[in-house]
């Protein structure tokens, strides 16, 4: 697709970035209060428990917000593409910033409320969780 | 009524350098221009300045965004100070607010505050992309949750807020255009503004799309320039060549998680925390405010501030702005009278603070909007915000 920028992976968030190796999205969830959080942190920001782990989720959710981007910010960055905020099904109050895989079809741009599912893009050992329309197939 | 700490400080003088696209002068030269003008305006000799502050200060590595650090400017001006500060956290008004607190606490008597940008020169022909390129490295900090997903620019980050606001409340691009056109109309009357040719709605819609719903004319204009302020103790407010400006209240709160897109509600921003804090401290209410200088890094942000400050209800800012007549120079609530960052240049919040002072000193010339007694200033977008009320003394 495009040459992607890769995040600096740290001990607190490595499980998130490596989660896609088996095709499954994992989000940090507190064992004490059961709430999810993102981005990952050493403790639950709700209850400050350290008993926090990465829970496998469906990778499905709803588009909370969408911006179709037309500006090529970096050399070789193909446009237009959609940056999205996803509300995961298991944690509808969580906000996950990502992008739709591939380019936007101007006749059918993604819209708020659309159902989406995760699709990983691996770069240098980091599995970036991108999204595609739900039911889009492999 | 007991005095709040911020009421122990006043703005005694203001200054501005030339502001423009790719000026031949260095960031330090522009800074000294602004600082010397502020000193003269305050009627103070540099030997009387005993504090210096800026945002974000030295060592901040985003090209052109930071300007020279406080110690560099202190050295260049030959100042001997009791207190100096520069820090990237606390928002764009952090340097100014810190100066106010230094004066209020007695650490300093007369603090020189400045804000300098050199973004136009730093970005050069490549535009904003050159200044934000991290290629060949891994992305640290908060950007690691954005850039790998090609959310490279604040235009995109804030567009995600705007799109949700439009979805929930029926806000339209016409409403965003009303801000762009208003600010350009004001800039047309401001000889110091970068872009002064009046805009039509047609111009707005023909401009190249950047990140929906933002087109080129929804984004502010990177510039080179500097503004400066002398923040002095209120006991000296009447000693200068002209009246000082009172600082009636400040709002600096961050009560929501200070992360981009932490949510869950992205129709608002940290602006609501700073605004709430301001009204908790202030003796004034929105109805007392004569005009507003609201951060317009993107056209959507003044709408966020209008709602946060309570000039209208949540979700109502689009309708409040309407066709723009209410916020025009002769309207009931003039907004961004100097042209804002959209047209006058992106001085990163401090240009708006400077314009508030210009108006309170009746120096607005063709853009002077009446004789305001109270001006509210709201600065910041996303997870940073600061607000204050300035008053004629």
What is the CATH number for B53?
3.40.47.10
Q: Between the CA of residue B337 and those of A29, B163, B257, B352, B371, what are the distances in Å?
A: 48, 27, 32, 9, 13
Tell me the pLDDT tens digit for each residue of A34-88.
999 999 999 999 999 999 999 999 999 999 999 999 999 998 999 999 999 999 9
Among A58, A133, A68, A135, which Cα is nearest to A101's?
Answer: A133
pLDDT (tens digit, 9 = 90+) per residue, B109-126? 999 999 999 998 888 765
Q: Is residue B180 part of a domain?
A: no
Interface test with A, best of B129, B137, B149 (most A CBs within 10 A): B149
* pLDDT at residue B1 greater than cutoff 70: no
CB-CB under 8 Å, B160 with A99: no
Q: How far apart are CA A18 and CA B150, in angstroms?
A: 19
Residue the block writes with tokens 């210096």? B52
Residue B105 binned pLDDT confidence (cut-offs 50, 70, 90) = very high
- Domain annotation covers residue B82: yes
Residues B157, B299 contacting (CB under 8 angstroms): no
Q: Which of B298, B294, B284 minimizes the C-alpha distance to B334? A: B294
Q: How confident is the model at residue B233 (pLDDT cuts 50, 70, 90)?
A: very high
| pLDDT tens digit sequence for A85-113 | 999 999 999 999 999 999 999 999 999 99
**Domain count across chain A:** 1
Q: What is the pLDDT of residue B323?
A: 96
**pLDDT the model gives residue B122:** 87
* pLDDT bucket at B129, cuts 50 / 70 / 90: low
Q: Is residue A2 part of a domain?
A: no
Flag whether A61 is in a domain.
yes
Bridge partners for A97 per DSSP: A85
Segments forming the whole domain that contains residue B77: 5-124+222-236
User: Assign residue B380 a region: left if phi > 0, alpha if psi is -120 to 50, beta otherwise?
Assistant: left
Distance CA B117, CA B100 (A): 22
Q: What is the pLDDT of residue B213?
A: 98
Residue B232 has pLDDT above 50, yes or no: yes
**Would B113 be classed as within a structural domain?**
yes
pLDDT value at residue B65: 86
What separation, in Å, do the N-terminal and C-terminal C-alpha atoms of chain A show?
16
Say whether B137 sits in a helix, a strand or coil: coil
Class of residue A138 by CB neighbours under 10 A (exposed 0-12, middle 13-18, buried 19+):
exposed
* Cβ neighbours of residue A10 closer than 8 Å, sequence gap 6 or more: none
Whether B89 is in a domain gets the answer yes
pLDDT above 70 coverage of chain A, percent: 96
Q: Which pLDDT belongs to residue B5?
A: 96
Work out whether the CA dihedral B71, B76, B82, B85 comes out positive or negative.
Answer: negative
3-class secondary structure, B342 = helix
Question: What residues are paired with A53 via a beta bridge?
Answer: A29
Q: Each residue of A110-125: pLDDT tens digit?
A: 999 999 999 999 998 9
pLDDT (average), residues B275-286: 98
Total tally of structural domains belonging to chain B: 1
Mean pLDDT along residues B25-41: 97
pTM for the complete prediction? Answer: 0.96
ipTM > 0.95, yes or no: yes
Residues of A within 8 A of B148 (CB-CB) are: 4-7, 126, 128
Residue A47 lies in a domain: yes
pLDDT value of residue A2: 56
**For residues B29 and B26, what is the distance between their CA atoms, to the nearest angstrom?**
5
Within a domain: residue A7?
no
The number of angstroms, rounded, from the C-alpha of B297 to the middle of its chain's C-alpha atoms is: 9
Residue B351 has pLDDT above 60, yes or no: yes
Among A6, A77, A93, beta carbon nearest to B139: A6
B357 touches B229 (CB < 8 A):
yes
Is residue A1 one of the residues assigned to a domain?
no
* Per-residue pLDDT tens over the stretch B235-280: 999 999 999 999 999 999 999 999 999 989 999 999 999 999 999 9
Query: Which of B128, B163, B214 faces A66 most closely, judged by CB atoms?
Result: B163
What pLDDT does B66 receive? 87
Residues of A with a Cβ under 8 Å from any B Cβ are 2-9, 39, 45, 64-75, 77, 81, 83, 85, 93-95, 97-99, 112, 126, 128, 130
Judge whether B80 lies within some domain. Answer: yes
Q: Is residue A66 part of a domain?
A: yes
Query: What is the average pLDDT score of chain B?
Result: 95
| pLDDT tens-digit series, residues B371-383 | 999 999 999 999 9
CB contact under 8 A, B138 and A85: no
Pairwise CB contact (< 8 Å): A67 & B135: no
> pLDDT confidence of B364, banded at 50, 70, 90?
very high
Which domain range does residue A118 map to? Answer: 14-133
pLDDT, position B137: 80
Q: Which two tokens stand for residue B1?
A: 């009524």
The reply to whether residue A70 touches residue B212, judged by beta carbons under 8 angstroms, is: yes
Distance from CA of A95 to the nearest CA of B (A): 6
- Segment (H or E) for B305: helix B300-308
Q: Is A9 inside a domain boundary?
A: no
Contacts of residue A71 in chain B, CB cutoff 8 Å? 153, 155, 210-211
Q: How far is CA B352 from CA A23, B377, B385, in A?
A: 49, 7, 14
Q: Is the pLDDT of residue B131 over 70?
A: no
Who contacts A124 (Cβ-Cβ below 8 Å, separation ≥6)?
A: A6
- Does residue A97 lie in a domain region? yes
Long-range CB pairs of B325-330, under 8 A, 24+ apart, other chains included:
B327/B178, B327/B179, B327/B182, B328/B182, B328/B185, B329/B185, B329/B186, B329/B189, B329/B367, B329/B369, B330/B369
Residue A78 tokens read as 């193909």
Measured CA distances, A62 to A28, B5, B158, B208 (Å)? 19, 47, 19, 29
Give the separation between CA B68 and CA A21, rounded to whole angstroms.
45
Residue B156 to residue A94, Cβ atoms within 8 A: no
Closest CA to B336 of B282, B391, B379, B381: B379
């Amino acid at each position: 697709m495009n040459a992607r920028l890769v995040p600096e992976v740290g001990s607190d968030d490595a499980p998130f970035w490596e989660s896609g190796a088996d095709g499954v999205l994992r989000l940090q969830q507190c064992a004490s209060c059961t709430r999810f959080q993102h981005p990952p942190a050493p403790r639950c920001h709700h209850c400050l428990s350290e008993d926090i782990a990465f829970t496998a989720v469906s990778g499905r959710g709803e588009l909370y917000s969408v911006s179709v981007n037309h500006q090529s910010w970096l050399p070789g960055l193909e446009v237009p593409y959609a940056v999205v905020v996803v509300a995961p099904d298991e944690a509808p109050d969580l906000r996950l910033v990502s992008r739709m895989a591939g380019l936007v079809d101007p006749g059918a741009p993604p819209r708020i409320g659309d159902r989406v599912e995760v699709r990983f893009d691996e770069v240098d050992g980091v599995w970036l969780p991108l999204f595609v329309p739900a039911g889009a197939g492999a | 009524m007991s005095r709040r700490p911020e009421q122990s400080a006043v703005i005694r003088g203001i200054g501005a350098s030339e502001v423009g696209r790719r000026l031949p002068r260095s960031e330090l030269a522009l800074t000294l221009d602004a600082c010397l003008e502020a000193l003269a305006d305050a009627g103070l000799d540099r030997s009387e300045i005993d504090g210096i502050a800026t945002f974000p200060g030295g060592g901040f590595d985003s090209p052109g965004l930071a300007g020279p650090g406080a110690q560099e400017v202190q050295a260049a001006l030959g100042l001997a100070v009791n207190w100096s500060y520069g820090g990237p956290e606390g928002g764009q008004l952090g340097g100014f607010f810190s100066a106010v607190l230094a004066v209020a606490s007695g650490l300093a008597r007369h603090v020189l505050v400045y804000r300098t940008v050199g973004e136009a020169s730093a970005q050069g022909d490549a535009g904003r992309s050159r200044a934000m390129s991290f290629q060949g490295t891994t992305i640290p900090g908060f950007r690691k949750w954005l850039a790998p997903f090609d959310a490279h620019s604040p235009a995109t980050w804030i567009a995600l807020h705007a799109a949700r606001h439009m979805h929930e409340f029926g806000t339209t691009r016409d409403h965003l255009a009303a801000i762009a056109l208003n600010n350009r109309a004001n800039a047309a009357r401001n000889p110091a503004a970068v872009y002064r040719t009046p805009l039509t709605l047609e111009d707005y819609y023909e401009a190249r799309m950047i990140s929906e719903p933002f087109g080129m004319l929804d984004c502010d204009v990177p510039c080179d320039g500097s503004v400066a302020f002398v923040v002095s103790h209120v006991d000296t407010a009447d000693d200068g060549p002209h009246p000082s400006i009172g600082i009636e209240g400040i709002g600096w709160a961050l009560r929501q998680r200070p992360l981009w897109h932490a949510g869950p509600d992205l129709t608002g921003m940290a602006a609501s925390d700073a605004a709430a804090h301001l009204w908790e401290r202030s003796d004034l209410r929105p109805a007392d405010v004569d005009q507003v200088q609201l951060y317009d890094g993107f056209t959507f942000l003044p709408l966020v501030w209008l709602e946060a400050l309570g000039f209208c209800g949540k979700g109502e800012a689009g309708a409040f702005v309407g066709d723009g007549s209410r916020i025009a120079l002769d309207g009931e609530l003039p907004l961004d009278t100097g042209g804002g960052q959209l047209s006058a240049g992106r001085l990163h919040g401090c240009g708006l603070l400077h314009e508030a002072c210009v108006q309170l000193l009746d120096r607005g010339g063709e853009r002077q909007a009446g004789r305001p007694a109270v001006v509210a200033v709201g600065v910041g977008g996303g997870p940073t915000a600061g607000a204050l009320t300035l008053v004629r003394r």
